[in-house]
Amino acid sequence: MILCIHNFPNRIAGLRFEWAWQNPKISVRLKMYDWQKKKTENGVQFQIRVLERMLNVPPWNKLPLTIQWLRSEYKIPLVPPLHMPIALGPIEEPSEIGDTVTSRETNCTLCHTTVSEDNNIYCVHNQCTFHLICLADKWVSKTDILPVSGTCPKCGTPQLWGEMVRFRNRLSKSKSDIPSQHWSDQLSQK
């Protein structure tokens, strides 16, 4: 393995991406392009060309994906959207949040009303608090459903929407020390 694309919002999105990458000639999003392998390119170069096109067309061009080259000697130039970082080296687990977030506001920075635990999002750098909807409305363009990036209204730092959502998800996982009970657990508790 020389390359990994990660940070899909869910498993299904990742599987759909993988299928389209393996089947560009029949994928609804990609079949309109010419997918003949050039005489000068090998199989890996062809797959990277398909990948580059995929990353720059909807719906994938809006996802907060990370392109991770695992081996530098196989790295091929690739131009993804600006919000998709290209990393080099082995994939590392995200660091634990732990006690780094101690003082969070309970009011939305934009509308100044109370933010509930299930409707919050935080600035990654300064831990400013927002309602998901308030910040999305401020950042989203007229043609998009979800924002890609924006500037924190309070601290002025540039943010990626996907990074903020990942930060929020890691915070909620670190808060839940006791795993929630799955419905199948109740079947054996008679």
Q: What is the pLDDT of residues 94-109, one digit of tens each?
A: 555 444 444 455 788 8
Percent of the chain at pLDDT > 90 equals 19
Tell me, which fold does domain 117-175 have in CATH?
A: Herpes Virus-1 (3.30.40)
Domain locations in the chain? 3-88, 117-175
Q: What's the pLDDT at 170?
A: 66
Burial pattern 50-72, b for ≥16 Cβ within 10 A else e, equals bbebbbeeeebebbbbbbbbeee
- pLDDT band (50, 70, 90) for residue 119: confident
Question: What's the whole-number mean pLDDT along residues 167-175?
Answer: 64
Question: What's the whole-number mean pLDDT along residues 55-78?
Answer: 89
Question: What's the whole-number mean pLDDT along residues 125-141?
Answer: 82
Percent of the chain at pLDDT > 70 equals 81
d(CA 49, CA 4): 15
Q: What's the pLDDT at 37?
A: 87
d(CA 95, CA 151): 24
d(CA 45, CA 38): 9
Q: What's the pLDDT at 189?
A: 46
Q: What's the pLDDT at 147?
A: 80
Q: What pTM, to 2 d.p., does this model score? A: 0.61
